[in-house]
């Protein structure tokens, strides 16, 4: 069975639309009860970091660094899950490497 070209084109168009949606979607991750917030796109592109002044302790910079790493990781994991969810809807659950 060979897929017809129209079906392949439709799938490519839907994939392009999903990728555009992921690129435009901003996902927030946080740590420390929200004192550090990181934003990434659905394509896992880092956008920003916001730090509540209460998290800044000159005597404990290491804790702030850990909070930043945790917030970025949280945002990236959420972006990955969103990407997998959208691509799964397109592929019927079949995993495609790189997506």
Question: Looking at per-residue confidence, does 74 or 6 come out higher?
Answer: 74
What's the length of the chain? 99
pLDDT at 88: 84
Beta strands in the chain (DSSP E): 26-31, 36-41, 46-51
Question: Looking at per-residue confidence, does 11 or 95 come out higher?
Answer: 11
For the domain bounded by 5-91, which CATH number is listed? 3.30.1310.10
pLDDT at 86: 87
- pTM for the full model? 0.80
pLDDT at 47: 96
């Amino acid at each position: 069975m060979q897929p017809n070209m129209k079906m392949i084109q439709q799938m490519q168009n839907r994939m392009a639309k999903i990728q555009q949606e992921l690129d435009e979607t901003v996902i927030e991750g946080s740590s420390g009860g929200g004192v550090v917030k990181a934003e990434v796109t659905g394509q896992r592109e880092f956008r920003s970091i916001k730090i509540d002044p209460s998290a800044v302790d000159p005597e404990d910079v290491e804790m702030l660094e850990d909070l930043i790493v945790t917030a970025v990781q949280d945002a990236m994991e959420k972006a990955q899950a969103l990407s997998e969810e959208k691509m799964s809807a397109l592929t019927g659950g079949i995993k495609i490497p790189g997506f």
